[in-house]
Structure 1
Amino acid sequence: MALTIIRGKLFTKKHEWISITNNIGTIGISNYAQEALGEVVYCQLPEVGTELVAGQECAALESVKAASEVYAPVSGTVTEKNKEVESSPGLINKSCYGEGWLFRVRLSQTSNFDNLMTHAAYEDLLRNHEEH
């Protein structure tokens, strides 16, 4: 995986990522999460205008193997959802850090960043998880 794809992204312990530009966060799931899910066949994304609270469930993904919730990595208002992913959920598997992003949020507070990890810290979390 190219490092430029993950540069600038922050991660949650629940395997979401966020990249922030001009107070707008683009959110998706990590490669680890999409591999664990398998082929994503359905996604339910939050509607534009929805107020999200960091840590709360805000979307759902279903695959041929399992269903999984997506949790908001930050608090804010949904400004856009990825309609391409809604109609072609497999984009999440093909490009989880690119075209397979899920939705965008206008940040309401910056204190949420305390719960987010750099990619290196996230990789450490995954390594420790696999060892146990």
Structure 2
Amino acid sequence: MTTKFTSDHEWVRMEADGTATVGITAHAQDALGDVVFVELPATGRSYAQKDTAGVVESVKAAADVFMPIAGEVVAVNDALVADPSLANSDPQGAGWFFRVRPSDSAQFDALLDQAAYDRLLGDA
């Protein structure tokens, strides 16, 4: 499974079944502080790349979650809605936000790999 990143601090992991799991990066959750609320997209809804697909709120700020690749949302993480702190404790595991069936695999390929994301963070 390959994980890529966006400059908006979302991560995207391609799964074996062809779906992509999306969440916020450790850097994003660290910058936000304690996450207290998440709003996730509706299952079955299609989004274009860079559309706002959700919201994450913390004790410090609120931020939009952007769709890193175009596609249809096929699942959301109900456990995250019930316990938003999962975004802090396990941002790239149990704290995932939603899964999408991509409509354009080239968009995934164009995202940042780990080295490029690390360089982005180094420049921040």
| TM-score normalised by length of structure 2 | 0.95
Q: Identity of counterpart residues, as a percentage?
A: 39
For structure 2, the 5+ residue unaligned runs are none
Q: 1:115 to 1:57 in 2, by over 3 A?
A: farther
1:114 is displaced (CA, Å) by 4.9
Equivalent pairs, count: 123
User: Alignment partner for residue 118 of structure 2, among 97, 120, 123?
Assistant: 123
Give the match's secondary structure for 1:18. strand
Give the match's secondary structure for 2:116. helix
User: Alignment partner for residue 11 of structure 2, among 8, 14, 17?
Assistant: 17
User: Alignment partner for residue 60 of structure 1, among 55, 60, 63?
Assistant: 55
Tell whether the 8 Å contact from 1:12 to 1:115 is kept in structure 2 after alignment: no
For structure 1, the 5+ residue unaligned runs are 1-6
Alignment of 1:1-132 (within 5 A): 8-21=2-15, 22-129=17-124
| TM-score normalised by length of structure 1 | 0.90
1:8 is displaced (CA, Å) by 2.3
Q: Deviations over 1:51-70 (max 9, x none)?
A: 01111111000000000000
Q: Deviations over 1:5-25 (max 9, x none)?
A: xx7210000000000123200
Measure, in 2, the Cα distance between the counterparts of 1:56 and 1:123: 24
Measure, in 1, the Cα distance between the counterparts of 2:49 and 2:109: 11
